[in-house]
Amino acid sequence: MDLQAVAAMRSFAVQILQVFGLLFAFALVVLVLYVLYMYLADINQTKQAIRRNFPVLGRFRYKFEHLGEFFRQYFFALDREELPFNRAQRSWVYRAAKNVDSTIAFGSTRPLNQPGDVLFLNHPFPTLEKDAVPPMEVTFGEGYAEQPYTTSAIVNISAMSFGALSVPAVTALSHGAARAGIWLNTGEGGLSDYHLSGGCDIVFQIGTAKYGVRDLDGSLSDDKLRRLAELRQVKMFELKLSQGAKPGKGGILPGVKVTKEIARVRGIPVGEDSISPNGHPEFHSVDGLLDMIRHIRQVTGKPTGFKCVVGTSDWLHEMCERIRLRGLEYAPDFITIDSADGGTGAAPQSLMDYMGLPINRSLPLVVDLLAQYGLRERVRIIASGKLLTPSMVAWALAMGADFVNCGRGFMFALGCIQAMQCNKNTCPTGVTTHNPDLQQGLDPVDKAERVASYARNLAYEVGTIAHSCGVREPRQLRRHHVEVINERGLATPLAELVPEVQPKSVIASDRGVQ
């Protein structure tokens, strides 16, 4: 009986072994044939020299080149090494978003001798907690727009269009912004229900293609503009001249990302590349720009400004002169200055890498220019471009910005891992893809909380920097609170490099009257 069972088991085992042996032999034969095929295919093709000269082995180069990206990121890249955002910066954002402890120990890993690095000057008697005050409220368009907009939020969500971002991402941003009391810029892709769903303040961006407010032949429709302005949530309008990723080129949404819903919101065909013109066809001069801004403000009754990357600055002089000449009602209520080193958008590499001035040059330039013409109180300045850590925000405030817009910081809060595939519809975290399988990883409820936490923690730590500098709130930071390391590795006062400018109305009138 026992023997029989053993024999049965034995024969069963032998059978299994035979099957596996057969499978192994088959796999071996297939492998040999496959290698032979690869060899022949490589020497017969003419497209890749490496494969032709080193058949089969040459293929590893392409595999490794692809894998190297991941190996570098996970195993070899140092904390302060990666671009555009290194791991130290990203970790800070992730921790802030998750609302976990963000303190570090055993000293700074930041080399404190690199030219251009920023140091804040601490005060011997820092602001005590009981003396600290919340950030000052700032009003846009007071006295000029029918419905001025007042807010105390410092860091807000920068322009990222619906289309570039996915439905759950926009939903999460909207809810998170509402909870943190900050505004959400729609980007140029029009206003969708998802922007409104959370109930946050909205800044509506008018792109060069006028998505969301365009009439049939693609120009600005006053009716649609008026209807948008009737929404209470929409607080301001921003006319986009250029964006950091591609100064001189319009928005690009690859066809693969133009789904039915996005096409409806934008008013364009499904599946075709959505390419905005590189400028507004309505105006070609500073006067035209000022007219357009005034027109939008009159139609909507809400503060209106523009966004641009600063390159040449002659036109800024001209603009200030024209404003002085024509009257303050022609002035933009705010200017958003975008750094030229690229943002969330898809852009040609040459424009992203080389075109326009970075924020550390353009921000003081515009601030000083406005101060020079006495427009500093009339025109608010919003700075944007990689300002996602408290130190960078504090730097921008000290330099003279009233607000900071941040896009990618909030993307990190949404779960972005800097896979850099925003333009391919293959975003692994669901932030910039319309593939439902990938989107399902992004839970809008959970991520809304992270967005809000990130905004709060960021504002809190900017406050901490301000208090260490001995001022009561962040907007009191000035250039004399900052030193910058020069090319010899020594810290130099920022106020010496870019001295504060006093209004010089004389000059303005001199130059204005010709």
Residue 8 found at the interface with other proteins (CB under 8 A): no
Given candidates 12, 20, 37, 354, which one binds other proteins under the rule CB under 8 A? 37
φ/ψ (deg, to 5) at 68? -55, -40
Strands 118-120 and 304-309, sheet pairing:
unpaired
From 42-50, 142-150, 162-170, 332-340, span contacting other proteins (CB under 8 A): 42-50
Radius of gyration, CA atoms only, the chain: 28
Q: Which residues of 489-514 are buried (b: 16+ CB within 10 A; e: fewer)?
A: eebeebeeebeebeeeeeebeeebee
Residue position matching structure tokens 């109305």: 505
Residue 44 found at the interface with other proteins (CB under 8 A): yes
Q: Which is nearer to other proteins, 12 or 71 (CB)?
A: 12
Q: Which residues lie across from 336 on neighbouring strands?
A: 307, 382
Report the distance separating Cα 211 and Cα 188, nearest Å.
6
Residue 34 found at the interface with other proteins (CB under 8 A): yes
From 34-42, 75-83, 242-250, 414-422, span contacting other proteins (CB under 8 A): 34-42
Positive or negative, the CA dihedral 345, 350, 351, 354 is: positive
Q: Which of 170, 228, 230, 162 is nearest to 200 (CA)?
A: 170
Report the distance separating Cα 469 and Cα 119, nearest Å.
11
Residue 445 found at the interface with other proteins (CB under 8 A): no
First to last CA, the chain: 118
The type of residue at 220 is L
Given candidates 25, 29, 133, 325, which one binds other proteins under the rule CB under 8 A? 29
Q: Which is nearer to other proteins, 166 or 457 (CB)?
A: 166
Question: In the complex, what is the shortest distance from the CB of residue 44 to other proteins, in angstroms, rounded to a whole number?
Answer: 5
Contacts of 348 (CB under 8 A, 6+ apart): 246, 249
Question: In the complex, what is the shortest distance from the CB of residue 474 to other proteins, in angstroms, rounded to a whole number?
Answer: 49
Given candidates 227, 260, 284, 504, which one binds other proteins under the rule CB under 8 A? 260
Residue 11 found at the interface with other proteins (CB under 8 A): no
From 32-40, 221-229, 457-465, 481-489, span contacting other proteins (CB under 8 A): 32-40
From 160-168, 262-270, 418-426, 492-500, span contacting other proteins (CB under 8 A): 262-270
Q: Which is nearer to other proteins, 269 or 489 (CB)?
A: 269
Residue 440 found at the interface with other proteins (CB under 8 A): no
Residue 25 found at the interface with other proteins (CB under 8 A): no
How does DSSP classify residue 198? T
Task: Give the footprint of other proteins on this chain (CB under 8 A).
Answer: 26, 29-30, 33-34, 36-37, 40-41, 44-45, 47, 260, 263, 269-272
